[in-house]
Structure 1
Amino acid sequence: MTKKPVIISTDPGIDDVVAITIALFSGELDVKLIAATWGNVPLDKTLNNTLKLETFLKTNVPVVSGASRPLLRNLIDASDVHGKSGMDGYDFPEPDTSLLQSKLAAEAIHEVVANSQEKVTLVQIGPATDYALYFRQYPEDLSRIEQLVIMGGAIGRGNWGPYSEYNVAGDPEAAQIVFSSNVKILLAPLELGHQAFVTQTTMEKVKKLGRAGDMLYHLLSKLNDKTETNGREIYDALAVGMLLKPQMYEFKPAYVVVDTKSPNAYGASVIDFDKFFNKPANAQVGVQVDQVAFAEWLIDAIRKVK
């Protein structure tokens, strides 16, 4: 079976670590590049975290430093959720900096896409800044992108503002560039995270899955996030799950636009399922995920980490 070439834009972030770990050891994905961007914590920390994770996992996927701030707005921060480092809760080894490329993220992404024999899938589990810059700088690449899988946005209420989800709210202008790109998009909104929670029982099973399971257990135990369940909501793994086990999800086509103007709804992702705007759908939006299947998939995926 031919592996699917993938690039990941990420801002580790505890739930990013879960998603990256699963992607790196999947038998179906060939992760070509990881672009660390600002997001949950500042860029110097997300970059350091990405390198530390790869050092711990003993993988050798090239890493590139992405954007240090949003296109227009001021930085926001989620260190109250993920800890000051972004990966509080586990003692990682010092990072192997030999994996770090000196190129700009847009250039590095372009080189992977341009040189790939197959169309490349992009995964976005942080703010959209790097992919927005890449799309603007290399528009000729758009036809070579298989799809873009995004964890971000909210169908209803947000977790940063009344209607804004953190990843989109962090850089609304970049998110709007991405949603208007005409690239095929799969979207995992905030609501799926509320459904795809992992219970303490599941976490105890994860803990027993070798050194990677132990690492993920300790990170998730430190995740300081108010949830609608008694478990841990692992948002970013939803995006990887859409690639590896799409049958867990129910999707609905929608036209998605990001509010970049309103002082009260700035950063909101407006998801139109009903053609109120008379616009064609630009995303397949996940509206339901099977919680039991998700937990079973998560355990099975982590079991594959060697």
Structure 2
Amino acid sequence: MHRTPLIISTDPGIDDAVAITIALFAPQLDLKLIVATWGNVALEKTLANAMRLETFLQTKVSVARGAQMPLLRPVINAAAVHGESGMAGYTFPEPDSRLLDHRLAAEALHEVVSTSPEKVTLMQIGPATDFALYFRQFPEDLTKIAKLVIMGGALGRGNWGPYSEYNVAGDPEAAQIVFSSGVPIMLAPLELGQQAFVDQQVLNKIRNLGRTGDMLYHLLTALNDQTANDGREIYDALAVGMLLRPDMYTFASAYVAVDTKSPLSYGASVIDFDDFFDKPQNAQVGVKVDRQEFNSWFVEAISRADKQGE
């Protein structure tokens, strides 16, 4: 089976941990590098969390130290949602420090992409800071990137501002650099996570899968996302699903840009499906996900992680 070379930029983060776990054990993916960036909590916590998760899972993918703050704006955080540690709800082992790649994130990214015999896929499930810095420092690598899958942005209302979603709002200038890079983009906006709802029955299935399922169950049920119903909305795993099961989604082509000027809508993702701006389309935007198919895939993917991680 061909395995797609993949790099994930992430800010673990409970939903990040779910997505990373699935990606690590997906037979179709060859995860080459994890870049921990600031985001849901501070960098030192997200970095430790990425290594703690891998230590628990007994995997050996290197983790690079990403940015400590956005390019221009002040740091925001989501500790109220993910807990002060960033991964509330489960006691993880101490991180294996041998997983740490001591180079700057951009250098580590460049090494993987430039030496790969085939184009590398990137996945961004946190703020865009590290990919923006990488694209600026090594623009010659852009043609060696197959695609970039992003969980971020919103079709309508936001979760950080009236129109801004957290990952994009965290570093709007970096997000704009990424969207204007010319790299083919698949985008999973906020609304898809609201569609990809898993109820308590599905959560119970996950808990009973085994050691890894139990860990993810405790993380997901500790997530303080104010879900209205009895269950959880799933966000970052949407990006992994787009790589592995794009048939679960309905996509529409669009020109996507980020508002970096307005004091009222700063950080909003502007998604133009109708050519209002007369700009080339730069993203395939997920506008719908089949909830039943996603739920089945989600449980199956975690089950595979559990079996392989035993």
Q: Which of the five TM-score ranges fits, normalised by the shorter chain?
A: over 0.9
Alpha-carbon distance between aligned partners in 1 of 2:262 and 2:39, rounded to the nearest angstrom? 22
Give how far 1:226 is off: 1.9
Please name the residue that 1:147 is paired with: 147
Instruction: Give, as a single letter, the amino acid of the residue that structure 1 aligns with 2:253.
Output: P
SS in 1 for 2:149: strand
Counterparts of 1:14 and 1:78, CA distance in 2: 11
Q: What is the Cα deviation at residue 2 of structure 1?
A: 1.5
Measured in 2, the distance between the counterparts of 1:140 and 1:151 equals 25
**TM-score w.r.t. structure 1 length?**
0.99
Look up the equivalent residue of 1:281 and give its one-letter code: Q
Matched residue type, 2:70:
P
- What is the CA-CA distance between 1:228 and the residue it aligns to? 4.9
SS class of match (1:101): strand
Task: Specify the SS of the correspondent of 1:12.
Answer: coil
State the match for 2:187 in structure 1.
Answer: 187
1:161-220 alpha-carbon deviations (Å, 9 max, x no partner): 000000000000000000000000000000000000111000000001110000000001
2:79 matches 1:79? yes
Match of 1:44 in 2: 44
Letter in 1 for 2:101: Q
Match of 2:224 in 1: 224
Shift of 1:229: 4.0
Deviations along 1:137-180, one digit per CA (max 9) or x if unpaired, are 00000000000000000010000000000000000000000000
* 2:227 partner amino acid: T
Instruction: For 2:292 and 2:133, locate their aligned partners in 1 and report how far apart those are by CA, in whole Å.
Output: 38
- How many residue pairs get matched? 306
Pairs within 5 Å for 1:240-251: 240-251=240-251
**Residues of 2 paired with 1:135 and 1:86: CA distance?**
27
The answer as to whether partners of 1:194 and 1:229 remain within 8 angstroms in 2 is no
The one-letter code matched in structure 1 to 2:72 is: L
Q: Match of 2:46, as an amino acid?
A: T
Q: Distance in 1 between matches of 2:186 and 2:211?
A: 32
**In structure 2, distance between residues paired with 1:223 and 1:157:** 21
Supply the distance in 1 between the matched residues of 2:230 and 2:27 (Cα, whole angstroms). 32
Look up the SS of the partner of 2:68 in the other structure.
coil
How many angstroms does 1:227 deviate by? 2.6
| Unmatched segments (≥5 aa) in structure 2 | none
Equivalent position SS for 1:64: strand
- Measure the CA separation in 1 of the matches of 2:227 and 2:167: 17
**Identical pairs, percent:** 70
- Indicate the SS of the match to 1:123: strand
CA distance in 2, matches of 1:90, 1:245: 29
Distance 1:209 1:138 in 2: 43
> Unmatched 5+ residue regions in structure 1?
none
Once residues 297 and 111 of structure 1 are traced to their aligned partners in structure 2, the CA distance between those partners, rounded to angstroms, is 33
What is the match of residue 89 of structure 2?
89
How far apart in 2 are the matches of 1:298 and 1:12?
19
Provide the rounded CA distance (Å) in 1 between the counterparts of 2:156 and 2:267: 13
Number of the residue aligned with 1:214: 214
The answer to whether the aligner puts 1:101 opposite 2:101 as a matched pair is yes
Determine the C-alpha separation between the residues in 2 that align with 1:45 and 1:234: 22
Return the offset for 1:27.
0.3
> What is the CA distance between 1:234 and its match in structure 2?
1.3
Shift of 1:298: 0.5
Q: C-alpha distance in 2, partners of 1:237/1:97? A: 26
Query: How far, CA to CA, are the matches of 1:161 and 1:173 in structure 2?
Result: 16
Contact 1:8-1:125 within 8 A present in 2 as well? yes
How far apart are residue 231 of structure 1 and its match?
2.0
Name the counterpart of 1:171. 171
Shift of 1:49: 0.2
Tell me what 2:202 maps to: 202
- For residues 282 and 265 of structure 2, the distance between their equivalents in structure 1, rounded to whole angstroms, comes to 21
**TM-score calculated relative to the size of structure 2:** 0.98
Q: Distance in 1 between matches of 2:166 and 2:109?
A: 24
Letter in 2 for 1:234: I
Contact 1:197 1:229 in 2 (8 A): no
Deviations 1:198-256 (A, max 9, x none): 11000000001110000000001100012354320110000000001000000000000
